[in-house]
C-alpha cells in the first residue's frame, strides 16, 4: 500500500538548527550544498501511525534568513504543513516566529503548523528564552516542543505531531 | 762588491736578451689570456652564451633527430609536456586566443565526421535488422530494432505533482534500483530547482524545461497539474518532444480529477506506472515508424503513383465542382466571428488546408454548435485544446470559494465581458493577486482568464473618498482660497499620494448673483486656483479635468451647504 505523501517545510531564522533537526530524524538526505546553492534541500521520512496508511513526509529544509520575508514564497507552495523552528537561546529568533508564520500562511492558509524551540540543551528551565517561547506558542495557539538536535529530545515527537495534524486536520 | 758589478751587468743583459727573444711568446700568451677571459665571460653571461650557441643548436637538434628520432622524442617528451602544462596554467587566455581559430574548425570537422559516421551506422544497422526480419518472414520487432539503432534512451520517467513536488508515479529501466537516488527525493529536489530558477531568473510563468548533466538530459514536459521529467541519455530528436507532450496530455485527460484533487494519496495513479514503463520501451516507436515509412514508400512506389493519379483526379473534380474557395473562406470567417463574439468564448483558429486547430475555450453548448457547424462545412477540426467552459454561475461559485479560501474580504468577482472572463476586485497585495488567479485557474480548470485584480491601497481609498465628499468654499465674487479652505485642501492631500489619483474632475461652482459670463469666468478661476495646488503637489495635469457649474437661484446647492465652491469627482 503506497503511503500518503505530504510536503512540509522547515522554517526559521538562520542558525536555529533546522538542518540539525532533520539530520537527527530523517532517512534520506541530499548534500548540504543544495541548501547554499538554491536555498532549499529536500529530505524524506516515513511515519507509520498506529492506524491507517503510512505517511511519507517530504521535508523541505528552507534556508533561513535573519530577515523574515526574504525567503522565496515559491518554496512554500503546496506544503501541507510546516515546522517553525527557533533557537531558545536567541530571543530574536523567537520574536521572528510570528513573521515567519505570517509569510508561510499567506501561501498556505490551511496548513498545519508546529513550533520547535530548539537547543533546549543550552538553556536552563527558567531561561527567559524558554519562557518567551512558551508564551509566543500559546499566543499563537500552536502545538510546541522544546527540542534538542544534540540529544534528540522531542525531535521525533515534534515531527510526528505535525504529521498527525496533516492527516487529521482539525 | 766588485765581483758583483759584472754579475749585475750580465743579469741586465740577460733580461734584455730574454725580452728580445720571448717578446712574441709573451704577446701571444697575453692574447690567449684575453681570449680565455672572454670565453669565461661568455659562459657566465647566459644571453651571450645563447647568442653563441644559437646558430648551431638548431643544426645540432636537426642532426640528432635525423640520426635517432625515437630517442629524441623520449628525451624531449617529459620536458615538453611540463613546459606545455606550465604555459597553459600560467596563460590560459593567451593559449585559448592562440588556439581559437584552429579549435573551432577542428571541432566542427570532428562533429561533422562523427555525425556522418553515426548516421551511416544507424542506416546500416536499420537495413541489416529489417532485412533479417523480412528474411525470416517474422513481424519486425520495432522496439528491439530501435534499441539497437537509436543514439539515446530514456532511463527514468517521473510524474510529479506540480504544486507540491510530490512524486505521483515513476518508472525506471535501472537494473539496480538500490544504486539510484530515492525517486521521491529526486522529484522534490527537481521541483525545488524549478522553483529556484523561476525565482532567480524572474521567469514568471515560464519554467525550466531542460537540465543537462554530462551525458544525461532531464527533459521536462509540463502539464496543468503535474509535469513529466524524462531522464534521457544521449540526445533525443525533435519527435521526442511531440511524443512526450502527447503522453502528458493523455495522462491529464485520464487523471484530470485525481490530479486536481490530489492531497497526497498516490493510489489512484498506480496504473500510470505501467504506462510509463511501457513508454520507456515504446517511446521510440513513432520515430521508428517514420524510418519504416520511408522504406515502405520506396518499396511501394507503384502503388503510390496510382494513388497520386487518383488524388489528382479528385483534385480536378474538387477544383471544378466545389464551391468557390473565396466564398468558403468568407463562410468560415462568418461562422468563427459569430462564435468569437459570444460571452465566455475566447479562442484562436489555425488553418492548414482543410484542417482547423482550435485553441481556447467556450461554453459547452457554443462549443458543440461551433464544432458541428465547422464539420458540416467540410472542415476537419482538431479541438483538443479547445476546452469547455463551465457555466458562469459555476465559475462565480468557484470565485467565491477562492475568496473564502484566501480570506479575501470583500470577495473578488468574475465578469464575463465581450467574450472574455475577468477576475476583478481588490486584494491586499501582489502575492494575493497572483495566488487568487492561480487558485481560480486551478479550481476552474480554465485555460485562459484575465487577471484584473487590483492591489488595494487603503491610503488611496481614503484620499479618493475624502475628495469626493468634501468641497472648498470661497467668499462671494472671489477665486482666492481662503486660509481655511487651503488648510482643508492640504489636509486632504496629506491623506495619500496624489499620484494614486487616476482621474480628477475639479468643478468650479458659482451662484447666479451677477452677470452669467462673469460667473462662468469666476467658476473657472476657482477651479484653476485649486488645480494649481494639485499640480504643485505633483499630480499629472493630464489626469485633471476642469468643469464649471453655475447654480441658478432656484437650484439647490446639492450635498454641500454653499454654491460658491469647488468640489471634486476623483477616481
Work out the average pLDDT over B271-287. Answer: 64
Which member of B163, B188, B265 has the closest CB to residue A60? B188
Chain A CA closest to residue B189: A42
Which member of A6, A30, A38 has the closest CB to residue B196? A38
Which of B232-236, B370-374, B454-458, B566-570 is modeled with the greatest confidence? B566-570
Taking an 8 Å cut-off on Cβ atoms, the answer to whether A34 and B189 are in contact is: yes
Q: Which residues, at least 6 apart from B401, have a Cβ–Cβ distance to it below 8 Å?
A: B443
User: Which residue of B166, B227, B431 is the best one to mutate when testing the A interface, meaning the one whose CB has the most A CBs within 10 A?
Assistant: B166
Contact A130, A146 (CB under 8 A): yes
In this prediction, what percent of chain A has a pLDDT beyond 70?
A: 88
The grid cell for B412 is: 473578488
pLDDT digits (tens, 9 = 90+) for A6-27: 999 999 988 898 888 988 888 6
Contact B169, B272 (CB under 8 A): yes
Alpha carbon of residue B481 to chain centroid: 57
The grid cell for A51 is: 492506524
Q: Which CATH class is domain B323-389?
A: alpha beta
Residues 20-39 of A with CB under 8 A from B: 28, 30, 34, 38-39
Please return the burial class of B448, using the count of CB atoms within 10 Å of its CB with bins 0-12, 13-18 and 19+. Answer: middle
User: Is pLDDT of B295 > 50?
Assistant: no
Nearest CA distance, A63 vs chain B (angstrom): 12
Phi first, then psi: what are they for B169, rounded to 5°? Answer: -160, 160
Q: Which of A122-131, B14-23, B453-462 has the lowest mean pLDDT?
A: B453-462
pLDDT digits (tens, 9 = 90+) for B318-362: 544 444 567 777 778 888 888 877 776 777 788 887 788 887 778
DSSP string for residues in B368-436? HHHHHHHHHTT-EEEEEEEEEEPPHHHHHHHHHHHHHHHT-SSPPEEEEETTEEEEEEEESSHHHHHHH
User: Is pLDDT of B14 > 60?
Assistant: yes
User: Is pLDDT of B205 > 60?
Assistant: no
User: Comparing B201 with A86, which gets the higher pLDDT?
Assistant: A86
Q: How high does pLDDT run on average in chain A?
A: 86
Domain that holds residue A131: 4-167
Q: Which fold has domain B460-570?
A: 60s Ribosomal Protein L30; Chain: A; (3.30.1330)
**Distance between CA A81 and CA A101 in Å, rounded?**
11
Per-residue pLDDT band for B2 (boundaries 50, 70, 90) equals very low
Chain B CA closest to residue A81: B164
Which member of B163, B431, B432 has the closest CB to residue A78? B163
Taking an 8 Å cut-off on Cβ atoms, the answer to whether A110 and B165 are in contact is: no
Taking an 8 Å cut-off on Cβ atoms, the answer to whether B163 and A39 are in contact is: no
Taking an 8 Å cut-off on Cβ atoms, the answer to whether B188 and A72 are in contact is: no
Nearest CA distance, B260 vs chain A (angstrom): 12
Taking an 8 Å cut-off on Cβ atoms, the answer to whether A34 and B182 are in contact is: no
Helix (H) or strand (E) holding B292: helix B285-299
Work out the average pLDDT over B262-277. Answer: 85
Taking an 8 Å cut-off on Cβ atoms, the answer to whether B196 and A40 are in contact is: yes
Taking an 8 Å cut-off on Cβ atoms, the answer to whether B189 and A42 are in contact is: yes
Work out the average pLDDT over B292-302. Answer: 41
Distances (CA, A) of B94 to B79, B90, B106, B307: 21, 9, 19, 64
pLDDT digits (tens, 9 = 90+) for B387-443: 777 777 788 888 888 888 888 888 888 877 655 677 888 888 777 877 888 788 777
A-chain residues within 8 Å CB-CB of B259? none
Q: Identify the CA nearest to B267 among candidates A6, A166, A3.
A: A3
Q: What pLDDT, on a 0 to 100 scale, did the predictor assign at position B506?
A: 93
Q: What pLDDT, on a 0 to 100 scale, did the predictor assign at position B393?
A: 79
Q: What pLDDT, on a 0 to 100 scale, did the predictor assign at position B367?
A: 83
Taking an 8 Å cut-off on Cβ atoms, the answer to whether B188 and A7 are in contact is: yes
Q: What pLDDT, on a 0 to 100 scale, did the predictor assign at position B303?
A: 47
Domain range annotation of chain B: 151-283, 323-389, 392-456, 460-570
Taking an 8 Å cut-off on Cβ atoms, the answer to whether B193 and A38 are in contact is: yes
**Distance between CA B552 and CA B567 in Å, rounded?**
17
Distances (CA, A) of A47 to A167, B155, B182, B188, B245: 11, 30, 17, 18, 36
**Distance between CA B260 and CA B254 in Å, rounded?**
12
pLDDT digits (tens, 9 = 90+) for A83-108: 999 999 999 999 999 999 998 998 88
Q: What pLDDT, on a 0 to 100 scale, did the predictor assign at position B206?
A: 58
Q: What pLDDT, on a 0 to 100 scale, did the predictor assign at position B290?
A: 42
B-chain residues within 8 Å CB-CB of A164? none
Nearest CA distance, B163 vs chain A (angstrom): 5
Work out the average pLDDT over B154-166. Answer: 90
Which member of A30, A75, A80 has the closest CB to residue B195? A75
What end-to-end distance do the CA atoms of chain A give, in Å?
25
Taking an 8 Å cut-off on Cβ atoms, the answer to whether B264 and A38 are in contact is: no
Please return the burial class of B551, using the count of CB atoms within 10 Å of its CB with bins 0-12, 13-18 and 19+. Answer: buried
Per-residue pLDDT band for A60 (boundaries 50, 70, 90) equals very high
Chain A CA closest to residue B406: A109
pLDDT digits (tens, 9 = 90+) for A123-158: 988 899 999 999 999 999 999 999 998 888 999 999
Which member of A44, A75, A166 has the closest CB to residue B185? A44
User: Is pLDDT of B131 > 70?
Assistant: no
Contact A93, A87 (CB under 8 A): yes
**Distance between CA B98 and CA B107 in Å, rounded?**
15
User: Is pLDDT of A61 > 50?
Assistant: yes
Which of A159-163, B74-78, B135-139, B382-386 is modeled with the greatest confidence? A159-163
Which member of A34, A58, A78 has the closest CB to residue B184? A58
User: Which residue of A42, A57, A63, A167 is the best one to mutate when testing the B interface, meaning the one whose CB has the most B CBs within 10 A?
Assistant: A42
| pTM attached to this predicted model | 0.45
Can you say whether the dihedral through the CA atoms of B458, B424, B200, A64 is positive or negative? positive
User: Comparing B446 with B454, which gets the higher pLDDT?
Assistant: B454
CATH value at residue A63: 3.40.50.300
Which of A15-29, B276-290, B299-313 is modeled with the greatest confidence? A15-29
Q: Which fold has domain B392-456?
A: 3.30.1340
Which member of A30, A40, A79 has the closest CB to residue B185? A30
Work out the average pLDDT over B277-289. Answer: 53
User: Is pLDDT of B289 > 80?
Assistant: no
Q: Which fold has domain B151-283?
A: Beta-Lactamase (3.30.450)
Helix (H) or strand (E) holding A117: strand A112-118
Per-residue pLDDT band for B146 (boundaries 50, 70, 90) equals low
User: Is pLDDT of B130 > 70?
Assistant: no
Per-residue pLDDT band for B7 (boundaries 50, 70, 90) equals low
Chain B CA closest to residue A55: B264
User: Comparing B515 with B293, which gets the higher pLDDT?
Assistant: B515
User: Which residue of A53, A58, A65 is the best one to mutate when testing the B interface, meaning the one whose CB has the most B CBs within 10 A?
Assistant: A58
The grid cell for B462 is: 481614503
Cβ-based interface (< 8 Å): residues of B facing A? 161, 163-167, 182, 184-185, 188-189, 192-193, 195-196, 198-199, 263-267, 270, 405-407, 431-432, 435
Nearest CA distance, A89 vs chain B (angstrom): 31
In this prediction, what percent of chain A has a pLDDT beyond 90?
A: 49
Is any Cβ of chain B less than 8 angstroms from the Cβ of A52? no
Which member of B166, B189, B198 has the closest CB to residue A7? B166
Taking an 8 Å cut-off on Cβ atoms, the answer to whether B166 and A38 are in contact is: no
User: Is pLDDT of B508 > 50?
Assistant: yes
Q: What pLDDT, on a 0 to 100 scale, did the predictor assign at position B464?
A: 85
In this prediction, what percent of chain B has a pLDDT beyond 90?
A: 8
Contact B268, B225 (CB under 8 A): no
User: Is pLDDT of B159 > 90?
Assistant: yes
Edge-to-edge strand order for the sheet containing B210-213?
B167-172, B153-161, B226-233, B216-222, B210-213
Q: What pLDDT, on a 0 to 100 scale, did the predictor assign at position B104?
A: 67
Work out the average pLDDT over B141-151. Answer: 54
Nearest CA distance, B358 vs chain A (angstrom): 32
User: Is pLDDT of B515 > 70?
Assistant: yes
User: Comparing B241 with B122, which gets the higher pLDDT?
Assistant: B241
Per-residue pLDDT band for A31 (boundaries 50, 70, 90) equals low
> Do the strands A112-118 and A81-87 form a parallel or antiparallel pair, or are they unpaired?
parallel
Q: Which of A41-50, B66-75, B396-405, B529-538 has the lowest mean pLDDT?
A: B66-75
Q: Which of A45-54, B144-153, B408-417, B474-483 has the lowest mean pLDDT?
A: B144-153
**Number of domains forming the structure of chain A:** 1
User: Which residue of A2, A4, A5 is the best one to mutate when testing the B interface, meaning the one whose CB has the most B CBs within 10 A?
Assistant: A5
Q: How high does pLDDT run on average in chain B?
A: 76
Work out the average pLDDT over B484-496. Answer: 81
User: Which residue of B167, B225, B261, B264 is the best one to mutate when testing the A interface, meaning the one whose CB has the most A CBs within 10 A?
Assistant: B264
The ipTM estimated for the assembled molecules is 0.85
Nearest CA distance, B441 vs chain A (angstrom): 15
Q: What pLDDT, on a 0 to 100 scale, did the predictor assign at position B284?
A: 45
Which member of B164, B198, B435 has the closest CB to residue A107? B435
Amino acid at each position: 500500500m503506497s503511503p500518503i505523501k505530504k510536503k512540509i517545510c522547515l522554517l526559521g531564522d538562520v542558525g536555529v538548527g533546522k538542518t540539525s533537526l532533520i539530520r537527527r530524524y530523517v532517512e534520506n538526505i541530499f548534500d548540504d550544498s543544495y541548501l547554499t546553492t538554491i536555498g532549499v534541500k529536500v529530505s524524506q521520512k516515513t511515519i507509520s501511525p498506529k492506524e491507517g496508511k503510512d505517511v511519507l513526509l517530504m521535508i523541505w529544509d528552507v534556508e533561513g534568513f535573519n530577515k523574515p520575508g526574504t525567503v522565496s514564497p515559491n518554496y512554500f507552495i503546496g506544503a501541507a504543513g510546516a515546522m517553525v523552528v527557533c533557537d531558545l537561546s536567541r530571543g530574536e529568533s523567537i520574536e521572528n516566529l510570528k513573521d515567519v508564520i505570517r509569510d508561510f500562511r499567506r501561501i498556505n492558509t490551511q496548513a498545519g503548523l508546529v513550533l520547535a524551540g530548539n537547543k533546549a540543551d543550552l538553556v536552563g528551565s527558567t531561561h527567559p528564552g524558554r519562557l518567551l517561547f512558551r508564551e509566543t506558542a500559546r499566543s499563537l495557539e500552536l502545538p510546541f516542543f522544546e527540542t534538542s538536535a544534540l540529544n534528540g529530545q522531542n525531535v521525533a515527537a515534534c515531527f510526528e505531531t505535525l504529521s498527525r495534524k496533516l492527516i487529521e486536520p482539525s | 762588491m766588485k765581483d758583483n758589478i759584472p754579475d749585475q751587468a750580465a743579469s741586465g743583459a740577460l733580461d734584455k736578451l730574454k725580452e728580445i727573444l720571448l717578446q712574441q711568446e709573451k704577446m701571444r700568451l697575453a692574447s690567449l689570456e684575453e681570449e680565455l677571459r672572454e670565453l669565461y665571460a661568455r659562459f657566465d653571461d647566459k644571453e651571450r652564451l645563447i647568442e653563441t650557441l644559437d646558430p648551431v643548436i638548431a643544426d645540432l637538434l636537426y642532426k640528432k633527430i635525423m640520426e635517432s628520432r625515437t630517442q629524441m622524442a623520449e628525451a624531449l617528451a617529459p620536458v615538453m609536456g611540463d613546459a606545455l602544462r606550465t604555459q597553459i596554467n600560467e596563460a590560459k587566455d593567451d593559449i585559448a586566443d592562440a588556439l581559437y581559430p584552429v579549435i573551432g574548425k577542428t571541432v566542427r570537422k570532428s562533429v561533422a565526421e562523427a555525425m556522418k559516421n553515426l548516421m551511416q551506422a544507424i542506416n546500416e544497422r536499420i537495413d541489416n535488422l529489417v532485412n533479417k526480419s523480412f528474411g525470416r518472414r517474422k513481424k519486425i520487432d520495432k522496439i528491439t530494432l530501435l534499441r539497437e539503432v537509436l543514439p539515446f534512451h530514456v532511463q527514468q520517467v517521473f510524474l510529479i505533482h506540480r504544486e507540491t513536488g510530490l512524486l505521483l508515479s515513476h518508472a525506471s529501466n535501472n537494473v539496480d534500483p538500490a544504486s539510484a537516488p530515492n525517486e521521491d527525493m529526486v522529484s522534490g529536489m527537481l521541483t525545488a530547482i524549478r522553483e529556484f530558477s523561476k525565482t532567480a531568473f524572474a521567469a514568471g510563468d515560464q519554467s525550466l524545461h531542460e537540465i543537462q548533466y554530462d551525458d544525461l538530459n532531464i527533459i521536462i514536459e509540463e502539464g496543468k497539474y503535474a509535469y513529466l521529467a524524462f531522464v534521457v541519455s544521449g540526445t533525443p530528436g525533435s519527435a521526442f518532444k511531440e511524443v512526450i507532450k502527447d503522453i502528458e496530455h493523455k495522462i491529464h485527460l485520464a487523471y484530470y480529477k485525481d490530479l486536481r484533487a490530489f492531497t497526497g494519496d498516490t493510489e489512484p495513479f498506480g496504473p500510470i506506472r505501467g504506462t510509463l514503463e511501457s513508454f520507456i520501451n515504446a517511446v521510440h516507436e513513432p520515430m521508428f515508424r517514420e524510418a519504416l515509412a520511408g522504406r515502405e514508400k520506396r518499396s511501394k512506389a507503384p502503388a503510390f503513383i496510382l494513388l497520386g493519379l487518383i488524388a489528382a483526379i479528385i483534385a480536378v473534380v474538387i477544383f471544378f465542382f466545389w464551391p468557390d474557395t473565396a466564398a468558403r473562406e468568407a463562410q468560415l470567417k462568418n461562422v468563427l466571428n459569430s462564435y468569437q463574439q459570444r460571452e465566455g468564448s475566447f479562442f484562436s483558429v489555425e488553418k492548414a488546408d482543410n484542417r482547423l486547430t482550435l485553441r481556447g475555450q467556450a461554453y459547452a453548448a457554443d462549443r458543440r454548435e461551433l464544432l458541428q457547424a465547422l464539420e458540416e462545412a467540410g472542415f476537419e477540426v482538431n479541438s483538443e485544446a479547445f476546452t469547455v467552459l463551465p457555466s458562469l454561475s459555476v465559475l462565480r461559485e468557484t470565485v467565491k470559494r477562492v475568496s473564502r479560501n484566501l480570506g479575501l474580504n470583500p470577495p473578488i468577482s468574475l465578469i464575463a465581458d465581450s467574450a472574455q472572463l475577468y477576475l476583478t476586485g481588490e486584494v491586499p497585495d501582489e502575492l494575493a493577486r497572483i495566488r487568487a488567479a492561480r487558485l481560480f485557474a486551478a479550481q476552474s480548470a480554465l485555460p485562459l482568464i484575465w487577471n484584473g485584480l487590483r492591489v488595494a491601497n487603503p491610503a488611496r481609498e481614503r484620499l479618493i473618498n475624502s475628495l469626493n465628499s468634501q468641497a472648498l468654499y470661497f467668499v462671494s465674487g472671489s477665486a482666492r482660497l481662503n486660509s481655511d479652505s487651503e488648510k482643508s485642501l492640504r489636509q486632504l492631500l496629506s491623506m495619500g499620494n496624489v499620484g494614486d489619483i487616476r482621474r480628477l474632475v475639479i468643478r468650479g461652482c458659482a451662484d447666479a448673483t451677477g452677470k452669467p459670463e462673469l460667473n462662468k469666468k469666476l467658476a473657472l478661476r476657482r477651479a484653476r486656483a485649486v488645480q494649481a495646488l494639485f499640480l504643485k503637489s505633483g499630480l499629472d495635469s493630464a489626469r485633471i479635468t476642469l468643469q464649471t457649474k453655475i447654480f441658478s437661484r432656484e437650484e439647490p446647492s446639492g450635498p454641500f451647504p454653499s454654491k460658491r465652491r469647488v468640489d471634486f469627482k476623483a477616481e
